[in-house]
Structure 1
């Protein structure tokens, strides 16, 4: 759970720097979460 909170905070910080890095990081987090659920 802690890793998800840190990922959320990192996504917010990247979004503040520009929406493109934030969106890319969010997509990576969602993809990782879905891969984790499959296994």
Structure 2
């Protein structure tokens, strides 16, 4: 969360949207892997 806030401040609005999209895709994939492993 802290890292996301820092990155958000450093990026331009459109880059922030792109970064947020990447992050959500990454976390969703990560969650999927964890569910498969369980």
Q: Could you tell me the TM-score, scaled by structure 1's length? A: 0.63
The CA deviation at 1:12 is 2.7
Count of aligned pairs between the two proteins = 32
Segments of 5+ residues of structure 2 without an aligned counterpart are 34-38
Which runs of at least 4 in structure 1 moved beyond 2 Å after TM superposition?
none
How large is the Cα RMSD of the aligned pairs?
Answer: 1.4
The aligned residue for residue 36 of structure 2 is none
**Structure whose CA Rg is larger:** 2
